[in-house]
């Protein structure tokens, strides 16, 4: 969708420069500058400036994300900046954006999704192996409970070890021999020009991806009509439909980064198929199901699937996880 010239002149007359909030990480900046470039091409008469800041999730690198237990680890500082009118909108990896946003902020646009799958990144000594042929006791690095639970379910003979830091730091630890393999997002590796490190793309049978993984979510103030109009120019409607279903599923289950919840969506001829799972952290229980319906009913499908999994015992798993989190 692009704005008409009359719409653009209205926007340009009142706001010549838009301030974009971004995290300082290499991947965040690559993503934010891509959004900046797309908007600049759509609106050559407007200016878009990037302002960077560190979030809580960027500062706490020696503690597993699940133990911090905060759903807004990578977004709060950016959101405060918008609410204080220091920035006009923020670019997020959609998977980092909580499903419940602060009052006064909205998800304004979702960009076209890159490959949302998880990737196996291997140490050189295992370059002739796939994930199902790695030896017993192989040390697998991941900071995601979603990945951890699914891999424990399929490969209980592996050893799992938390890994934090930016992508280069994680890869350096792998290459130094601290890990035999890492599980990382395909999209992040591709955006940073590291596709050559992807040894194997994990199929959905092994690892369902995180809600929103591979897409960018752009957040802004709910009452900022000008910004909302501008951002619609780079919205990818099929991706947004998939994201709405996934986020409704997660929101209905009230899960954050500390809950092993995975999804997989497909869109064919305006029909949306959503698969979701809830797993126990130890990987011993995994509840999974699929629903299909009209893409126009995306959020309803997400809610429907969440209720379906609840009926099959997902709520018991979630209750156990919440109780464990509150005790720790």
Taking the complete model, does pTM exceed 0.85, yes or no? yes
Residue 285 lies in a domain: yes
Question: Per-residue confidence at 63, pLDDT binned at 50, 70, 90?
Answer: very low
- Find, among 262, 251, 263, the residue nearest to 307 by Cα: 251
Mean pLDDT of 273-289: 96
Q: Are residues 230 and 94 in the same domain?
A: yes
Sign of CA dihedral 290, 293, 295, 298: negative
Q: Are residues 224 and 318 in the same domain?
A: no
Which tens digit of pLDDT belongs to each residue from 64-104? 444 434 556 668 889 999 999 999 999 999 998 999 999 99
Q: Are residues 276 and 322 in the same domain?
A: yes
Q: Are residues 50 and 125 in the same domain?
A: no
Q: Tell me the C-alpha distance between 246 and 189, whole Å.
A: 22
> Percent of the chain scored above 90 by pLDDT?
79
Task: For residue 156, give its domain range.
Answer: 118-201
- Annotated active-site residue 58? The verdict is no
Which tens digit of pLDDT belongs to each residue from 176-229? 999 999 999 999 999 999 999 999 999 999 999 999 999 999 999 999 999 999
**Residue 185 DSSP code:** E
Q: Tell me the C-alpha distance between 235 and 233, whole Å.
A: 6
Residue 240 lies in a domain: no
pLDDT of residue 58: 45
Least confident of 10-14, 32-36, 74-78, 224-228: 10-14
> Parallel, antiparallel, or unpaired for β 261-268 and 271-279?
antiparallel
| Catalytic residue from among 96, 180, 224, 241 | 96
Task: Tell me how many domains the chain contains.
Answer: 3
């Amino acid at each position: 969708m692009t704005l008409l010239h009359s719409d653009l002149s209205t926007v340009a007359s009142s706001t010549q420069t838009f301030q974009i909030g971004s995290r300082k990480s290499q991947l965040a900046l690559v993503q934010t500058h891509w959004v900046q470039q797309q908007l600049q091409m759509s609106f050559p008469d407007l200016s878009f400036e990037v302002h960077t800041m560190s979030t809580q999730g960027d500062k706490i690198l020696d503690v597993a994300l699940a133990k911090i237990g905060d759903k807004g680890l990578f977004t709060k500082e950016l959101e405060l900046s918008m609410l204080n009118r220091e920035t006009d909108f923020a670019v997020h990896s959609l998977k980092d954006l909580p499903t419940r946003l602060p009052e006064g902020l909205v998800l304004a646009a979702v960009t076209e999704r890159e490959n949302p799958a998880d990737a196996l990144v291997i140490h050189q000594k295992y370059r002739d192996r796939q994930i199902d042929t790695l030896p017993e006791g192989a040390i697998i690095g991941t900071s995601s409970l979603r990945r951890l639970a699914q891999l424990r379910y399929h490969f209980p003979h592996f050893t799992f070890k938390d890994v934090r830091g930016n992508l280069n730091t994680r890869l350096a630890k792998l290459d130094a021999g601290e890990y035999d393999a890492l599980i990382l997002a395909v999209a992040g590796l591709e955006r940073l020009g590291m596709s050559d490190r992807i040894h194997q793309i994990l199929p959905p049978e092994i690892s369902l991806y995180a809600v929103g993984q591979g897409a960018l979510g752009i957040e802004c103030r709910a009452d900022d009509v000008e910004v909302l109009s501008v951002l619609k120019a780079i919205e990818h409607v099929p991706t947004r439909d998939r994201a709405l279903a996934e986020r409704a599923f997660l929101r209905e289950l009230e899960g954050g980064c500390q809950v092993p919840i995975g999804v997989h969506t497909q869109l064919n001829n305006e029909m949306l198929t959503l698969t979701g799972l809830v797993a126990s952290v130890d990987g011993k229980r995994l509840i999974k199901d699929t629903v299909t319906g009209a893409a126009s009913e995306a959020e309803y499908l997400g809610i429907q699937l969440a209720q379906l999994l609840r009926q099959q015992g997902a709520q018991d798993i979630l209750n156990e996880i919440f109780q464990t989190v509150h005790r720790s």
